[in-house]
Amino acid sequence: MYTALLDEAHHAIEKTLPERSDDYRLAYHLAPPAGWMNDPNGLVHFRGEYHVFYQHHPYSPQWGPMYWGHAKSTDLVHWEHLPIALAPGDPYDRDGCFSGSAVVVEDTLYLIYTGHIWLGDSGNEEQGIRQVQCLASSNDGINFTKHGAVIEAAPHPDIVHFRDPKVWQRDGQWWMALGARLGDDPQLLLYRSQDLYHWDYLGCALTGQRETDGYMWECPDVFTLQGREVFLYSPQGLEPIGYEHWNRFQNGYRLGRLDETGGFTPATDFHEIDHGHDFYAAQTLLAPDGRRLLWAWLDMWNSPMPSQAHQWCGALSLPRELFLEGDQLRMRPARELTALRQSGQALTIGSLEAQSQVLDIRGALLELEFGLELTGSTAERFGLALRCSEDRGEQTLVYFDAMARRLVLDRQHSGAGVEGIRSVPVAPAQTRIALRIFLDRSSIEIFVDDGAYSLSSRIYPHPDSLGISAFAVNGRGIFKEGYAWQLADLKL
């Protein structure tokens, strides 16, 4: 029966592929062949290859009962789609194989995930849900055998939301972090095991309050980086404040200390890890060379998703390398991504005095590296207009706002359905902003000052909107020399 469920899902994708439109199809970001994608799951290095699993609904480009999609790569650039790894349908995961993680024991790959069950008939949470933690394994990294639920109930009878297990090894034992919700307060729960099958509850490592911490911490990830421990998570229910928390849900981190008894003592407040419109459910893996790599869902709940009309929806961010600078978690594009570069040319703009200048660079698949010189610049704002149509009706703006002292991403005119402005601060003493920008057919990822900040968003311009202009408003803007590369179309 289980094999039949997987076969039916594969046939659904094959049937849909001829109907798929690729106007917004990403060239070098991992996206589903067809159907729906959300959270990255089970990031792991197995037998010399990187494996990325993801939440997937193969039957439509809308969210539905969750399967685990699957892809692998040897170089973090070229990805091969593999057969769907997990399908719901057993009593413990009847209505969804929700998010989780992956580990390797000797020569076996294990997936740990949340089995989701609706207790009512309509898929309405108010009628009740049940969530358990499940285990599956594979000897070849492609075909998986389910082993059922290994944690069959939350530790408190009033906990209903109890999901997204992240498993890692510490001092010869397996540890599991889970996000939970007790009433309207979020919790980080910890378990420990010797064999992945039998788990002991250590306790609530950290709890929050609805007013300040949201009501649920999804997709927890706990790891050590440069000798410090990081709690990475996705809180639901935070209210916007100032420039922060304007997305439907957030994604961020706290630094702290995890003790042997399972308590996490935070040393910092919550900080958003990305400041764009579309970045959620980030997860990490430890690469063989010691780097901590991160992927996130490059979309956001309740956001415009025009590609749904094209029979696919959702993508993952570029892989990023994490490092700490003081108490700040920074992200750089994975170094392997330079392999995407094709033809390149110097980006020489110089000084602009209250004007706009069309550049001789065009394209949907670009990497741009340049700087904005603040010393000597007098413009109220200056920067680049990207993915411009001939009449400038479509454009995505990246600029320095001198009055607000912020670096701004403006997608008010970025194409079908999207809008909104996001920004990050620029320190008063800062004299230059270093920018590295990746453009794909329906995405932009901006890395600021060697990863001090990033802004990741989906955009949906017309395929012919390919122009780039530099601009300065009411004063002089000075651009440092840089470089632009056309990037490979890998048709992932």
Catalytic residues: 39
Contact 296, 318 (CB under 8 A): no
Contact at 8 Å (CB) between 395 and 383?
Answer: no
The answer to whether the beta carbons of residues 269 and 287 sit under 8 Å apart is no
Q: Which residues contact 377 (CB under 8 A, 6 or more apart)?
A: 400, 402, 472, 475, 476, 477, 478
| Residue keyed to tokens 């939301």 | 161
DSSP track, 306-352: GGGGGTEE--BPPPEEEEEETTEEEEEE-GGGGGGEEEEEEE--EEE
Position 178, amino acid: L
Cα separation of 471 and 93, whole Å?
54
Asked if 221 contacts 40 with a C-beta cutoff of 8 angstroms, the reply is no
- Give the CA angle between residues 160, 211, 223 to the nearest 5°: 65
Residue 233 sits at φ, ψ, to 5 deg, of -160, 170
Residue at 259: amino acid letter: D
Q: Could you give the CA distance from residue 168 to residue 258 in angstroms, rounded to a whole number?
A: 13
Cα separation, 441 vs 320, in Å, equals 19
Within 13 A of 489's CA, how many CA atoms are on the CB side?
A: 7
